[in-house]
Amino acid sequence: MKKALTSAFLSMFCTEMSLIFRSGIALSDGVRVLLSDADKSSTIVLNSILDELSKGKPFSVAIENSGYFPSHMIGVVKAGEKTGRIVEMLGALSDYYDRLDRVAVTIKNAVLFPLVLLAVIVGVIFILITQVLPIFNDVYGRHGVRMSPLANSFMRFGQWLNGVSLIIAIVLGIIFAASLLLRVIHPLRARLLKISREWFGGIWFIAETASYHFLSVMTLSVESGLKTKEAVELASAVSGGTKSTDRKNAECLKLISEGATLAEAMGGAGILSLRETQMLSFGIRGGETDLTMAEIMRRKERNLLDRINRIISLIEPSLIILISVIVAIVLLSVMAPLLGILSSISG
């Protein structure tokens, strides 16, 4: 894999290729049409595909040899070509990547907004204790009044922060530079993501996201006509990366190899809950495995997004209350001596 393509790009690409297949024009001509209105990064990807298509390679081989596309997409496209359902599979892939993009945006917003709000809190408090409190302290000193012990403690902490401000600036600069490097150097970012998954793979939303990815790829694979074991292997490769997830995936594959049904294997491995396992069993008996898995996947997506939104709804007011309380404590500790001065003047 070269630079990873975004879910938004993959969704759009699959939709466009589905339309090209449906129109009946030559794939190479269709890709040339896409190239006429492509940006710089898209042009590189499309040119690599066009080079392979010009050599007479099938579409699945063209995207595989380009080195840009994920393995599960290539597997589904190959299965679609074998079964003659390439148009349907590209449409399903487009929907899949569109859902992934929505989930990713929700998770990013869930992390980004609290971080921005926390940065604002830290900035306001930093200005209060390093800039505002010393001014009040000087004013009170001229009138022979001292600030409260709490305000003095805040001010001393602010003076300490001023003393180490250069170190703080250097640390923040290093963090900013590291963030830029991670954004530019994709293998390094992939390695860091892998390490973070190994460390924090037990966190509920990482485990739920992995289960969602597993079900999504399984649904696509079953729809494309892949055999059950091949579909599980493909889904395991996509959703794996943490110890708990890899253990579940390995157990699922083991149960499939021992002759268990898909529902029994996924339920026994802990990928599906008891209710979801029963639901899939009914779907398999009714000959609607793909539709049932798609419904389970949609429910998991909805539950995942609902839980994330509930957490956001708790974090935001909590941070606002926190900054209000801290600012109120600082201001009250500063204003108490001022009230004493005013009362003495009025007296």
- At 44-86, the pLDDT tens digits run 999 999 999 998 899 999 999 988 898 878 888 888 888 888 8
Q: In terms of domains, do 33 and 110 share one? A: no
280 and 131 share a domain?
A: yes
342 domain residue, yes or no: yes
Asked which of 43, 69, 95 is the last residue of a domain, the reply is: 69
- Specify whether 184 is located in the same domain as 228: yes
Two tokens at 250? 């390995």
35, 69, 103: which is the final residue of a domain? 69
Together in a domain, 58 and 196: no
At residue 61, the pLDDT reads 93
Residue 225: the pLDDT is 77
Residues 172 and 320 reside in one and the same domain? yes
SS (H, E, C) the chain: CCCCCCHHHHHHHHHHHHHHHHHCCCHHHHHHHHHCCCCHHHHHHHHHHHHHHHCCCCHHHHHHHHCCCCHHHHHHHHHHHHHCCHHHHHHHHHHHHHHHHHHHHHHHHHHHHHHHHHHHHHHHHHHHHHHHHHHHHHHHHHCCCCCCHHHHHHHHHHHHHHHCHHHHHHHHHHHHHHHHHHHHCHHHHHHHHHHHHHHHCCCHHHHHHHHHHHHHHHHHHHHHCCCHHHHHHHHHHHHCCCHHHHHHHHHHHHHHHCCCCHHHHHHHCCCCCHHHHHHHHHHHHCCCHHHHHHHHHHHHHHHHHHHHHHHHHHHHHHHHHHHHHHHHHHHHHHHHHHHHHHHHHHC
Find out whether 30 and 17 touch, Cβ atoms under 8 Å.
yes
40 falls within a domain:
yes
**pLDDT tier, 281 (very low <50, low <70, confident <90, very high otherwise):** very high
User: Which pLDDT score is estimated for 312?
Assistant: 76
Q: Is residue 79 domain-resident? A: no
Inter-CA distances, 30 with 46, 81, 189, 292, Å: 10, 18, 34, 35
**Count of domains for the chain:** 2
Average pLDDT, rounded, for the chain: 81
- Mean pLDDT, rounded, for 162-171: 84
Record the tokens describing residue 322, joined without a space: 């926190």
- 47 and 111 together in one domain: no
Read off the pLDDT band of 153 (50, 70, 90): confident
8 Å CB contact between 68 and 85: no
Tens digits of residue pLDDT in 256-275: 988 888 899 998 988 888 88
pLDDT in tens, 296-324: 888 888 888 888 778 777 877 887 888 78
Residue 130 lies in a domain: yes
> 13 falls in which pLDDT band (50, 70, 90)?
very high
Domain that holds residue 23: 7-69
Reported as a single tens digit per residue, the pLDDT across 167-206 is 888 988 898 887 777 766 766 666 666 666 555 554 666 6
Can you give the pLDDT at residue 20? 92
CA 105, distance to chain mean position in Å, is 7
Same domain? For 115 and 225 the reply is yes
Same domain, yes or no: 25 and 111: no
Considering only CA atoms, which of 111, 279, 298, 300 is closest in space to residue 209? 300
pLDDT at 95 over 70: yes
Q: Note whether residue 55 is domain-resident.
A: yes
pLDDT confidence of residue 221: 79
Looking at the fold, whether 44 and 112 belong to one and the same domain comes out as no
- Residue 122 and residue 224 in one domain: yes
Residue pointed to by tokens 């170190």: 167
158 lies in some domain: yes
> How confident is the model over 106-111, as a mean pLDDT?
77
As a whole number, mean pLDDT of residues 208-225 equals 80
What whole-number percentage of the chain has pLDDT above 90?
A: 13
Q: Is residue 74 part of a domain?
A: no
Q: Are 34 and 112 in a shared domain?
A: no
Check residue 1 and give its pLDDT: 44
- CA atoms of 67 and 62, how far apart (whole Å): 9
DSSP state of 5: P
**Exposed, middle or buried, 134 (CB in 10 Å: 0-12/13-18/19+)?**
middle
| Residue 219 scores a pLDDT above 90 | no
User: What does the pLDDT average to over 226-252?
Assistant: 80
Dist. CA 99–CA 94, nearest whole Å: 9
DSSP, res 271: S
Same domain assignment for residues 28 and 97: no
In terms of phi and psi (left: phi > 0; alpha: psi -120 to 50; beta: otherwise), the region of 287 is: left
Residue 117 lies in a domain: yes
- pTM for this model (two decimals): 0.69
Please give the Cα distance from 60 to 81 (Å, whole number).
Answer: 8
Range among 7-16, 137-146, 304-313 rated most confident: 7-16
Q: Where is pLDDT greater, at 333 or 260?
A: 260
For range 155-163, the mean pLDDT: 82
**Res 251 pLDDT > 80:** yes
The pLDDT, as a whole number, for residue 203 is 61
Q: In angstroms, how far is the first alpha carbon of the chain from the final one? A: 79
Amino acid found at 212: Y
